[in-house]
Amino acid sequence: MKITAPLIAFFALCSPVLAAKDGWMDNFDKAKARAKAENKNILLDFTGSDWCGWCKKLDAEVFYQPEWKSYAAKNFVLVVVDSPHTFKLSSVVQKQNEALKTEFKVTGFPTIIILNEGGAFKGKLGYVAGGPKAFIGALEQLK
């Protein structure tokens, strides 16, 4: 029983860190404001970060690669819309993510939604094989 309480506290404190990838936001309203201010598109990554194999593959092959990070920094405000199984998001983020899944009719993971700087839908895609170059090529077709 003594071990359980510290572990619960540890995961409660770490869950916000686990929820958003480096360079990614998890607050959609703040992301929209930033996109408008920086005149960038928004990329929503609907993911199951801790359980979805294809999501983990997309992260490893694309989102953690320097070529992607450089391209994304110039072109997008990045938003992770996570649906984890082994840790909890804050109630605010969880509610927001459920609303976004409903709004964009997301039924599978990973789903990538591209919005313009004003928040209007531009396109949708999923996992793209071939690393950053192939993924960036698919995104360029949505512009």
Residue 86 located in a structural domain: yes
User: Cβ distance 100 to 25 under 8 Å?
Assistant: no
Q: How would you write the pLDDT of the chain (143 residues) with one tens digit per residue? A: 455 444 444 444 443 434 457 899 999 999 999 999 999 999 999 999 999 999 999 999 999 999 999 999 999 999 999 999 999 999 999 999 999 999 999 999 999 999 999 999 999 999 999 999 999 999 999 87
Residue 17 located in a structural domain: no
Q: From the DSSP assignment, how many helices (H) and strands (E) are in the chain?
A: 6, 4
Q: What is the pLDDT of residue 99?
A: 98
Residue 3 located in a structural domain: no
Beta bridge pairs of residue 18 = none
| Residue 78: Cβ within 10 Å count | 22
Residue 31 located in a structural domain: yes
d(C-alpha 62, C-alpha 106), whole Å: 21
- Alpha carbon 130 to chain centroid, angstroms: 19
* Count of structural domains within the chain: 1
Residue 41 located in a structural domain: yes
User: Cβ distance 43 to 49 under 8 Å?
Assistant: no
Pairing of the two strands 41-47 and 76-82: parallel
Residue 39 located in a structural domain: yes
User: Cβ distance 109 to 39 under 8 Å?
Assistant: no
Which structural domain range is residue 53 located in? 24-142
Axis-axis angle for helices 66-75, 131-142 (nearest 10): 20
Residue 6 located in a structural domain: no
Q: What is the pLDDT of residue 105?
A: 97
Find the CATH number of the domain harbouring 107.
Answer: 3.40.30.10
Residue 84 located in a structural domain: yes
